[in-house]
Structure 1
């Protein structure tokens, strides 16, 4: 049965390579045994995983996104604890354990994504309602919907979201749930206010999308091709694109937006990893959540990328470092 596995301190430490003279983040992070204990934790950031690729396969994609969580967590926990980031501000909650559907047809997979939505949303809601910032590692981009849903319920209002992505993920909701329409469902259900896509590739824009965007004032796009052709840096473009977004606001990073990062939609063209790091390290917004999705160590067709864990770990630590002074002004 589907469930959520809460991590104990021993679960965390089992992933840490301890060395004399060093302290790793995994030796400093907090854990809890239930959601009821979240509010009593001094942590501000809560990390958990959704290791599934059902939503990706429901969108005719290549499976493998379920493999990103464990490698990302291990790389993160083995990052040094130091004056730049201690680890005591962070709680590692655990991960979802999601069963494969018996019906492996597209219809069966899409029905299963509905179940995942209902599983994920309450956990996110509880984390947000406890005053914490979720950092969610996927998994497919279908999970954007329950994350937005849960955040909106936890804050008791719709939220804005900015998505760094080569795709808009605004496919028709009539298709059923999958990784390509999480934001469509969030808009349709009133949980998503303003939606921005930074780095959308023109090659992945279907014929109906431009008119849909034009007729929806809640949606704004920065095309990757336009970013390539102007004289501003990627961080400068990002600043201009997001400056008017209000709080609360969520941040989505689909790893297929970064060139040569292994995902179902891996691409030779995209942002450089260091450009995304610059965006995160220079961030001036107090984001309500971070969702990193679609990355894989191993795809179903056999392709591998052993760097994915460290890639995600860098993004997590950059996000936290930029937010710490805004959460704890004395730092």
Structure 2
């Protein structure tokens, strides 16, 4: 079973360490009691968590992505509200959770992902139809598919998406998992342009490479080429995203070196390089999806800093979009 739990302001305040003489984001963010009230909210951005790792399990990955949302939310809510970011531009909707399957098989996991797809799709479509920008914290990268579908349905057109990722996630669309969200989106006509930035040569199979060569909708920059080229990462990114119109922004945390994630490793972008990309991006984005991060993996590895990584990327995104006039920062 999958379900959406909406948050109250009282619950969010219970996560905030309040201090006299200062204000935290959690004291300023908005909440609603029903999806029908999205249009009543003045916030331009809507934050949703997805607590699951069924997509990772179905892709034979290391589970643990379900552990990222709650610590990331608590960290975000305790960021200072100040002249740089007030918090009033953000509505914290709640989180989508999945039940634990007693003895999961690949088939039962795939069915659960399809149920999750349906719920995420509906929630994202409602957010977009209300004129808001979704910010989604995963969970596995399987959730990119229903997010893309929700945005495409709201706009009644295929969309553009940029993905900062070590993996193209173009595995064969024969049962949903965290490795084939974009295969399904392309197959179903939901993506008219898909760009992947930071692919690693060691971790993309030949079939995917051939598919990227054959499909004009797909463009890619390999991390290995960034290491050998003379252009800066930011300059390459700026040129790469130029043809994309109002794209979604996907950031798989396995692209950031040293961040605990289901498929992470020692080589990749630094956190500050990703922050620089976001803060200097000149695009207005249709959504932000941060996925695959974990605070604890089932193999015993732990890193509480993943929550702070996610909080940095959310606040950077809000500041970047505010600076482009998506939603002027509200006065304190």
TM-score bucket (shorter structure): over 0.9
Name the structure 1 match of 2:18: 18
Find the residue that maps to 1:163 and give its secondary structure: strand
- Alignment partner, residue 40 of structure 2: 40
TM-superposed deviation, 1:211: 1.7
Instruction: Tell me how far apart the structure 2 counterparts of residues 24 and 171 of structure 1 sit (CA, whole Å).
Output: 42
> Residues 330 and 315 of structure 1: is their aligned pair in 2 closer, same or farther, counting only changes over 3 Å?
closer
1:1-331 pair list within 5 angstroms: 1-174=1-174, 176-247=175-246, 249-328=247-326
Question: C-alpha offsets along residues 108-163 of structure 1, whole Å, 9 cap, x if unaligned?
Answer: 21221111101110000000000000000000000000000001111111110000
Asked if the contact 1:51/1:69 (under 8 Å) is kept, the reply is yes
Check the 8 A contact 2:4/2:96 in 1, yes or no: yes
Give the TM-score taking structure 1 as reference length: 0.97
Deviation at 1:329, TM superposition (A): 7.6
Deviation at 1:328, TM superposition (A): 4.9
Distance 2:210 2:73 in 1: 40
SS of the aligned residue for 2:39 comes to coil
User: SS of the residue aligned with 2:104?
Assistant: coil
> Which whole-Å CA distance do the structure 1 matches of 2:191 and 2:130 have between them?
21
2-structure distance, mates of 1:330, 1:56: 37
Partner Cα separation in structure 2 for residue 330 and residue 120 of structure 1:
28
Q: Are the counterparts in 1 of residues 56 and 63 from structure 2 also a CA contact under 8 Å? A: yes
Structure 2, gaps ≥5 residues long: none
Structure 1: tracts of 5 or more residues without a match: none
Other structure's SS at 1:39 match: helix
Q: CA offset at residue 320 of structure 1?
A: 0.6
How far is 1:330 from its partner? Answer: 6.5
Contact 1:103 1:109 in 2 (8 A): no
Partner SS, residue 173 of structure 1 = coil
3-state DSSP of counterpart to 2:107: helix
Q: CA contact under 8 A between 1:135 and 1:290: conserved in structure 2?
A: yes
State the Cα distance separating 1:325 from its structure 2 match. Answer: 2.6
* Deviation for aligned residue 1:101: 2.8
Q: CA RMSD in A?
A: 1.1
CA distance in 2, matches of 1:4, 1:316: 21
Could you tell me how far 1:327 is from its partner in structure 2? 2.9
